[in-house]
Structure 1
Amino acid sequence: MIVKTRHYAIFFSIIIALVLQIMPLPIQVDMYRPDWVLIVLAYWAMALPHRVNVGIAFLCGIALDILLGTALGIHSLALSVSVYVLAANYQRLRNYSVWQQAIIIGLLSALYHLVVFWLQHLLTDVYFQFAYLWPVLTSMVLWPWIFWILRKARRQLRVT
């Protein structure tokens, strides 16, 4: 069972992240929803850059665009840019402590949200509100736990 499961561990974690990204939440909590897909892609892009790269981020972005009902390509471009920045520096980022990585994840999340905002502003004339950046804080706070959970799963399933 482990042999078959380990090949799909990355796929399952991305599916879980997509489900968490669209799961209904109370309106008071929804504005703090972390960027689950970005966090999971960031972990896998740092841990296994030969398996998860900009192409996977683009496909996840297309899936996210379809699930959220946004214009096709908005989340694709934002996730691709964020994962590209991460993948270009993954060797350096792996050597940082988890808390330093959380700050980098916060910066990547801010980049992701600013690209999404910029594209939505060009398409629909949406105006910036500070509330758009609350997920940056929650993504930073959740990074250490997601990192440890995914690392434990990767090691137990021997995903390479």
Structure 2
Amino acid sequence: MSRDRALWVLPASLFAALLLGLLPLPEALVPLRPYWLALVLAYWVLEEPGHAGLGLAFLVGLLADLAFGTLLGEQALRLTILAFILQRFRARVRFFPLSQQAFTIGALLLNDRIVVAALQLALGKPLPPALSWFAPALGMLLWPPLFLLLDSLRLRSWRRT
């Protein structure tokens, strides 16, 4: 019971990731923006699979589509694919060292870039800028500190309740 009450960190972190995605950046840096929602959702799918799964990924994706003004269902599809792959390999990925987890997350973010490019191509839109292919590397570098931050918040709130 007390563990369930400690899950305020999950919606708060997803909301913070949504805000980070909306944060204005200089035009030159926009393609390098890390996919914050994917990073935060990946943490929760790995650490709290009973509370974070495909349904949450889809709902968060729909909210992100509305917030970012993207095609309705685009982010929902992207986050659901990411959550599905992570759920499938959770037993292995969860016990990787943090550096190896970072490479795995980088590969998942690269897969996300491929999904975005395929969607853009299918819709007849121009492909994302070449600089956007470096965003997964940035997400990979951000994974260890983000993981440690979310883990400390989750465990601290769980101990207090």
Return the TM-score normalized by structure 2: 0.91
Whole-angstrom CA distance in 2 between matches of 1:3 and 1:52:
14
Q: 1:128 to 1:19 in 2, by over 3 A?
A: closer
Unaligned runs of 5+ in 1: none
Partner of 1:148: 148
The aligned counterpart of 1:72 is: 72
Change (3 A) 1:140 1:128: same
SS in 1 for 2:84: helix
Shift of 1:32: 1.3
SS of the counterpart of 1:31?
helix
- TM-superposed deviation, 1:137: 0.9
Q: More deviation in 122-131 or 18-27?
A: 122-131
Letter in 1 for 2:47: A
- Per the alignment, residue 31 of structure 2 pairs with 31
Aligned counterparts of 2:5 and 2:22: Cα–Cα separation in 1: 25
Deviations 1:93-122 (A, max 9, x none): 111010100000001101112112211221
Q: What are the equivalent positions in structure 2 for 1:28-107 lying under 5 Å apart?
A: 28-107=28-107
Cα 1:151–1:25 shift into 2, 3 Å: same
Contact preservation (8 Å) 1:98, 1:144:
yes
| Structure-2 separation of matches of 1:74 and 1:115 | 10
Letter in 2 for 1:34: P
1:9 aligns with 2:16: no
Deviation at 1:124, TM superposition (A): 3.3
- Percentage of pairs with the same residue: 31
Task: Provide the aligned length of Structure 1 versus Structure 2.
Answer: 158
Provide the residue aligned with 1:112 in structure 2.
112
Instruction: Check conservation: 2:62, 2:73, Cα contact below 8 A.
Output: yes
Q: Report what 2:158 is aligned to.
A: 158
Change (3 A) 1:125 1:4: closer
Cα contact 1:17–1:40 (8 A) shared by 2? yes
Name the CA shift for 1:12/1:5 in 2 (closer, same or farther; >3 Å). Answer: farther
The Cα of 1:6 is off from its aligned counterpart by 2.1
Residues 29 and 45 (structure 1), Cα distance of their counterparts in 2 relative to 1, 3 Å cut: same
- Structure 2: gaps of 5 or more residues: none
* Between 117-126 and 65-74, the greater mean CA deviation after superposition: 117-126
Check 1:3–1:43 CA distance in 2 against 1; reply closer, same or farther (3 A cut). closer
For 1:130-149, what aligned pairs fall within 5 Å after superposition? Answer: 130-149=130-149
Task: Give the letter for the 1:20 counterpart.
Answer: L
